[in-house]
């Protein structure tokens, strides 16, 4: 099932056996090397997380976990702790092409919950904090993710420009119009 980061935020996390409330989705931990969603932070302080491998299912806008023992401190799971040290956050990260064309900032991203992998970035430039000309970039176009920026292939822009040219209205500047005298 595809989910977006923004729609996933705030979902309750519940224990499947007791139906008890364990927290809410406050943030996601994304591995910048391969786009895998590794864990969910379950509180504002980012002091407790839930590894995605321990999620049994997502249904009716609830994240279900087999039991509360799946929750851990960020430094308890070495692989996740190493990714957290990198300090990479996708939201608001700047996006550039390989040739250094600025495409905007990440407004949202989508991921697949079967496999927990990043699938698309929603990117837009902002004018006075208002997003303009949103673009969806497939994760296969991502070259590199760092704490300061995301680099994507130049082909993303070329394809978009070709589509604009193909779908453009005919040039009416040379058309002959009859005018009333």
Whole-model pTM?
A: 0.81
What is the percentage of the chain residues whose pLDDT exceeds 90? 76
Beta strand residue intervals within the chain, DSSP E: 2-4, 12-15, 21-24, 27-30, 37-41, 49-51, 55-59, 62-65, 94-97, 102-112, 117-127, 130-138, 142-145, 149-152
pLDDT computed for residue 126 by the predictor: 80
| CATH 2.30.30.240 matches 2-86 | yes
Q: Which CATH superfamily is domain 94-165 in?
A: PRC-barrel domain (2.30.30.240)
> Which sequence spans correspond to the domains of the chain?
2-86, 94-165
What pLDDT, in 10s, does the model give residues 112-170?
999 999 999 999 988 777 767 889 999 999 999 999 999 999 875 554 544 555 555 44
Shared fold status for 2-86 and 94-165:
yes
**How far, CA to CA in Å, does 46 sit from each of 28, 82, 108, 140?**
10, 15, 20, 29
Q: Does 175 score more than 70 pLDDT?
A: no
pLDDT at residue 128 in the model: 77
DSSP assignment string, 77-123: SHHHHHHHHHT---TT-EEEETT--EEEEEEEEEEETTTTEEEEEEE
pLDDT at 86 over 70: yes
Mean pLDDT of 88-114: 95
């Amino acid at each position: 099932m595809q989910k977006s980061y923004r729609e996933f935020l705030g979902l309750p996390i519940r224990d499947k056996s007791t139906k008890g409330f364990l927290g809410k989705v406050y943030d996601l931990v994304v591995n910048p090397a391969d786009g895998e969603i590794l864990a969910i932070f379950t509180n504002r302080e980012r002091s407790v997380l839930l590894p995605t491998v321990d999620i049994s299912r997502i249904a009716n806008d609830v994240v279900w976990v087999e039991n509360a023992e799946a929750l851990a401190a960020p430094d308890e799971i070495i692989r996740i702790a190493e990714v957290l040290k990198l300090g990479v956050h996708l939201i608001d990260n700047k996006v550039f092409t390989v040739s250094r064309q600025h495409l905007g900032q990440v407004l949202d991203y989508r991921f697949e919950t079967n496999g927990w992998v990043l699938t698309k970035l929603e990117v837009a430039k902002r004018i006075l904090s208002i997003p303009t000309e949103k673009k969806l970039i497939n994760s296969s176009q991502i070259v590199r993710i760092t704490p300061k920026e995301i680099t994507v292939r130049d082909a993303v822009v070329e394809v978009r420009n070709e589509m604009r040219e193909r779908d453009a209205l005919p040039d009416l500047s040379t058309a002959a119009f009859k005018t009333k005298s």
